[in-house]
Structure formats: structure tokens, C-alpha cells
Homo-oligomer: A and B are copies of this chain.
Amino acid sequence: MSATDREESHRARMQRKKAVVDAAIARADRDQGLLLVLTGNGKGKSSSAFGMVARALGHGLRVGVAQFIKGRSDTGEEAFFRAQPGVTWHVLGEGFTWETQNLARDRETARRAWAVVAEMLGDPSLGLIVLDELTYALKNGWLDLPLVLADLAARPALQHVVITGRGAPDELGAAADTVSELRDVKHAFRAGVRAQKGVDL
């Protein structure tokens, strides 16, 4: 095939692709507050939620964030976003579950945390809400899943919610509009590199 034929063949292929993509875009014409779930063992779930916080702020939306499990408060994302106008930031956990080793206290912490979230879900001025690592509270049974799903379903129609964490329950995936599962193909931690500022925390 000559260079000119290759160019022509490439152009024809790309034109067909563009037609398919344009038709799909024309079919997708609704606006809606989305429920997104980012789960799986791979690196990047919470980061992805925080990237959406930046996107939302860039469009002038107000954002609420609740970090469920991490009791730590020296993360880069918290330092950065707390200093931004339009962001409400809650750290609601008491540390990772294997740190507390007390089931009753974990349940009580999760219950109080959800009360804070429920208030945000009732606030139509918030365009995006991030529930970081909520899945741990669900899969460990610290929170009542039907209550959580009901509060999510009753939120304002255009409010987006992003939920992160490993092992999202099937019912949460069923209620979601978009679900991505992050597969852990490779992780630097297993090669002996500790968590790095700016990437992992």
C-alpha cells in the first residue's frame, strides 16, 4: 500500500469511528446527578475522587468530602483542598480498622459519621460529594446498607456522589450509574517502596 493509500485508509477508518462516536454522543443527551463507585484493589481510587473534586471546583460547583476510615490528617489532598474556597472537608474515621480493634466503637464512629454525610446529601448547594473509603464501613457492617442506599436515592437530582474503597457491596454497584473496578496489576509497595507524598498520600 502506498503512503497515499495508507493515509486514505486511515482517514476512512477514522471517519467511520467518528460517526459511531458522534452517534453515541447524540444519544446521550440527559443531565443527571451521578452515583459513581470506584472499587477494587488497585491504586488510584481515592485519587480519582479527588481529581473529580478539582474538576467540580473548576466548574464552580461546591464540594463536600467525607473521609471514612483514615483518621490521619496529614494527607496532601486534605492540606490542599481545605485551603480552597467551596470545599467542606470532614475526616470521620478513627484510623484503620485494625488500629482500633474495637467493633462497638467502630460502629458508633460510623453511625456518627453517616449523620454528617446525611446532612450533606440533603444540601442541594453541594454539587459533588465524595465518600472516601465508605465501603469499609459497609462491608464490615458498621453501617446499615439499606439506610445508606435510601439516603443516596433521596439526594438532590443533580448532585453527584463518588464512593471509593475496596470490596464495594453488589447492592451499591447496582444502585450506581458508573462503576469502575481498579485492578492491581503492579504496586511499588510490594517492591519495597513506601507510600510517597504526592502520589499515595
Interface residues of A (CB under 8 A from B): 6-7, 10-11, 14-15, 17-18, 21, 24-25, 27-32, 34, 36, 38, 40, 42-59, 61, 75-81, 96-104, 127-128, 160, 162, 173, 176-189, 191-201
Apart from A42-B181, A55-B75, A180-B184: 5 A-B pairs, beta carbons within 8 A = A10-B103, A44-B48, A54-B77, A128-B199, A178-B188
> Complex: how many Å from CA A58 to CA B103?
33
Contact of B57 with A51 in the complex, beta carbons under 8 Å: no
> Complex: how many Å from CA A187 to CA B178?
4
Q: Distance (Å) between the CB of A27 and the closest chain B CB? A: 6
Contact of B10 with A160 in the complex, beta carbons under 8 Å: no
> Complex: how many Å from CA A14 to CA B140?
12
